[in-house]
Chain A
């Protein structure tokens, strides 16, 4: 690649400064943002508390639509969590060097979105206070949860993913924490010192670190694929018309990656602006992420087409009823979904100028995620509204409680991310500098000699 993936060579100290800029003491604006997000989270918690202390009649749920926007949120957030694995693990394994400055943002997003997503199955329970019945723990009655239930598979897969992605994030951050430790004082030094686990940067440590990162990257991909397949099975293994479909697992995985990649682009724009990282997150990165998004949007369009065309061709009465009801009642939402997930990315992202325009990429990536939220809504709600018995067809609209909890979830994610950015290195510092070490010419007396650090296989 002719275009440099790094800014012009700088001293190590200046690079560290720039990339650790997020760790500087918080400004007033940061406090205002954190306070605002905290207030929205508090409101969401109040709404949830209200639901728990009264009863579930404050939701919009009824018979037959017994799952609503809580489950939409669940699928949406778990979908977003595929960003870290996709962007980080796959690009790490394929040794795409441009990935380096965005690694951390993507990996951290995975951890926080999967945390938010995992809360929703607990939030939506009718009796949240006995949620531990779902956990396989030894008890005096010898009762185990039902492993035939897709919800148990869910719990297992998500728990594995939470642990796996947290380890993935932490492992990648280890050398950066050591840098932060060496540059800080006071309580921060103690904190980073403990977290860096005595990292010294010896050759042996680096060797082990590289092996471990590659191994983790390879292991986290099947976990991510299985997580969203299992989320899809929540629907696919039922007998509900519109849900019972074999295309669901791959279709959900593709949808998850689509929303994940789009969310990484959104966060890249925000982080670039907030921490003045224009030198590190260049149009090249947006160009490459745009190409990735284009490919995934193509895959998504294909999967959606297959899903609809088999239903249309078979024309099974009740399945077709669900589709026509959805297309009739939710026409604007359906159109927005098709534009946001398919038509717009497929046309706009073909143009290099659009892929390289930060503003356009922000707009497209936001629209993709709005469309993905709608997509989940249109899968879950219309299918339940028109099930097999026409006498109990119904409708659903989320209530203030459900919308407040949803707003609280978005704010909660943003708050966790904001706090994380202030406490931990937001750019994968050592990853970026590793690349620099390979490329740079080392000044040697009056001559400049190429660095002895070898080229990684696959480097250009």
Chain B
């Protein structure tokens, strides 16, 4: 384990037993992060820009069919496959354990996108426009990405930065629950919980100790910061 140089190690818990697959997180993420608006055509081509997707699986045989939902976002791996392959350090690891993405450094080799086992990196194949009046919704805190650039979930790093500034002004650390990304804030069933894994008393750290926890593609040794919870039941997600 590498040396911890920051008091924070941001992580998330996704409780699959609570997720109803409503998709509010996807919409919230899009609104918060200046994610481009894609039409039917782009989505049909597999070029949608969502940083967070809800995978839907059907379990069982008709008539006993049940839908299962799996929200997948950037797993912010501790040993992220996307990072070493980037030739220009556009994809890098920050001290808080986040996988950063420097948009204006990215040259678009798309190597990170190929090497991400979770396929959560999205590439700006199109030169995106925001039709009026949607451009008024663009957040000034976040770069609007140009064509030819890779992008992905940042755990709403702009919110984390703002919270750090506020806390720093008062000479304290960020309190548990003080900052949360748009998806977690919006989730009506509280299936998404965000927090500091380095603080053993935080809500997220307590949830992570649950026997229901697992991580996606754990066998690859990427050590994701996103944990999933799934209890009993005969069907697996």
Residues of A within 8 A of B (CB): 54-57, 59, 61-64, 66-67, 121, 124-127, 130-131, 133-134, 143, 145-146, 148-152, 155, 237-240, 384, 387-389, 391-392, 394
Contact = CB atoms under 8 A, between A and B. Distances in A.
Given A62-B46, A62-B47, A133-B105, A126 B85 contact: no
Given A134-B107, A149-B87, 11 more contacts: A56-B147, A61-B125, A63-B47, A63-B113, A63-B122, A66-B114, A121-B109, A130-B107, A148-B85, A240-B115, A389-B55
Contacts of A55: 124-127, 147-148
A143 B117 contact: no
In this complex, the interface size class of chain B, counting residues with CB under 8 Å from chain A, is 35 or more
B59 interface: no
A62 B47 CA distance: 6
9 contacts: A55-B124, A63-B46, A64-B113, A66-B123, A126-B107, A134-B88, A146-B84, A239-B222, A391-B57
Main secondary structure of the interface of A (DSSP, over half): loop
Nearest to A132: B107
Contact of B125 (A56, A127, A149): A56
Top 3 A-B pairs, shortest CB-CB distance: A126-B108, A126-B148, A62-B46
B217 to A, nearest CB: 6
A4 B117 CA distance: 59
Contacts of B117: 239-240, 387-389
A126 B147 contact: yes
A334 B191 CA distance: 46
Contacts of A66: 110, 113-114, 123
Best-buried of A63, A124, A155, A238 by chain B (most CB within 10 Å): A63
B24 interface: no
A57 B129 CA distance: 14
Nearest to A64: B119
A22 B72 CA distance: 63
A388 B125 contact: no
Contacts of A237: 85
Main secondary structure of the interface of B (DSSP, over half): loop
Contacts of B118: 388-389
Given A57-B47, A134-B87, A389 B119 contact: yes
Interface of B: 42, 45-47, 53, 55, 57, 70, 72, 81, 84-89, 105-111, 113-115, 117-119, 121-127, 146-150, 217, 220, 222
B19 to A, nearest CB: 15
Given A62-B46, A63-B46, A240-B114, A150 B72 contact: no
Given A62-B46, A127-B148, A238 B115 contact: yes
B102 to A, nearest CB: 10
Contacts of B88: 133-134, 145-146
Contacts of A130: 107
A59 B220 CA distance: 31
Nearest to A383: B114
B111 to A, nearest CB: 6
B54 to A, nearest CB: 9
Nearest to A147: B87
Given A126-B110, A145-B88, A151-B111, A238 B148 contact: no
B126 A126 contact: no
A387 B121 CA distance: 13
Contacts of A384: 114
Contacts of B220: 239, 388
A121 B42 CA distance: 25
Contacts of A121: 109
A318 to B, nearest CB: 9
